[in-house]
Structure 1
Amino acid sequence: MPQKHMKLSLWDTAGQETYKSVTRSYFRGASGALLVFDLSRRQTFQHVTDWLNDLRQIAEPDIVVVLVGNKADLTLPDDDKREVTRHEAEQWARRNGVMEYVETSAKSGENVENAFMRVAERIYQNIQAGKYDLNDRRSGVKGPSAAAQRQVNLAGAPNASQAAGTASRGCC
């Protein structure tokens, strides 16, 4: 698979009701979201529906959403504090049109990168499919900047614009 470069702006918004009015402002222009709940606290799972509804009211219609059950390290057989089953979370994700369900452990780092990569990959696929207007700030996605187009790839052959620029200017 070819390497892709993306710059992601991440906002870790608090899930507590106290901060709800502030966190909703971050939804505007979002292209992707990780809805995270605590596997060892059912109450946090029950609030995910409210967060998804808020997200869908404010964010772009094509927002990429992954449901994340965190604290998987607390669900090991010798220390099982799980209050939400994998099956239950997967069913919720399917029923609510959420792209996927992933279990993570922020403590050990297990599957954390995978959760972010799933969102980033789908956003990239949406860009390739032309689902975002790269000139519209509301889409949450920006096209390549002029600086990015001027970058030199030291690992490979120059792209067409780099080759043309070198030919017209000479070597120095």
Structure 2
Amino acid sequence: MAKEKTPAKPSRGRAPAPNRRGSPEAIEKRRAARMFNDVLGGRGLASQKLDGRTEKRRQRLLAELERGTARGARDLKPLDVLQRVEQLLELGEPLSSIRKVSKMKKLPEFPEGVVEVVERLHKAYGFRPETYRFVGIGEDVLREAGVLADEPGRRRTRKTR
């Protein structure tokens, strides 16, 4: 008589079943449902409003720029400033409010080789041109580095009252 094998028990080294609550599909369903309820509930379009975690992140980024330090006591390096400004712009934060909290540097003279460094950095990261102002890099360097395209016939004018 042949002995039947019983199914093997799961070993303790296996990963637990995936959490469906945190899956991208579930998250998108919840966000879509919230927007649907807000629009039909009379509260207007909620897409302008950030969810709780994103709002906390926005506040943290602004606070770090204002203090000039990262989460701990580490001072922000110029690259950190560029990254935080870029993230805030992606979250929809207006440039004017970032300017209010961040101290924009103005360098009277640029170190040697700054154009090549900015060109290389821009190819690697693709920061928006306006973010470079927060670390003291002006339009002339950006234009030389190829970040800003020369636009003939267009002049920047200041409004006077």
TM-score (norm 2): 0.23
Which structure shows the bigger proportion of residues in strand conformation?
Answer: 1
Which structure shows the bigger proportion of residues in helix conformation?
Answer: 2
Greater CA radius of gyration, 1 or 2?
Answer: 2
TM-score (norm 1): 0.22
Determine which structure has greater relative contact order: mean sequence separation of CA pairs < 8 Å that are 6+ residues apart, divided by chain length: 1
